[in-house]
Structure 1
């Protein structure tokens, strides 16, 4: 299972709730979490999904993906 990390502007539990419907049933996503306590608001996604697919989901949900962090 591959892990990818992203800087985002998903900054609170309300934001996490807004993002959840976009990723929860996405094919290839085994698990995900957002560290809202981190200054970089790190989104960690585990599974067989591409960086581009995750970026598209975040943008579709109305958030920004600032950069990909090498895992």
Structure 2
């Protein structure tokens, strides 16, 4: 299991609700959450064999910014 961490522009609960179906459609995710209190609005995903580029592309297709953090 690995943890992927991303900076996003998600600011509100309704935006998280909007991306939820998109994230839930990605295969291999055990858990995920968004920290709205963090300045980077961090999306953390626990997964097996999930490409960070796939996550970025999925959120961008949903209309939101997403960039993997080192």
- TM norm structure 1: 0.89
**Counterpart position of 2:5:** 5
How far apart, CA to CA, are the structure 1 residues paired with 2:16 and 2:7? 14
Tell me the CA shift for residue 68 of structure 1.
Answer: 1.7
Q: Map of 1:1-71 to 2, 5 A cutoff? A: 1-48=1-48, 49-65=50-66, 67-70=67-70
Q: Which moved more, 1:23-32 or 1:43-52?
A: 23-32
How many residue pairs align between the two structures? 69
Gaps of 5+ in 2: none
Contact 2:11 2:41 in 1 (8 A): yes
Instruction: Give secondary structure in 1 for the equivalent of 2:27.
Output: coil
- TM norm structure 2: 0.90
Gaps of 5+ in 1: none
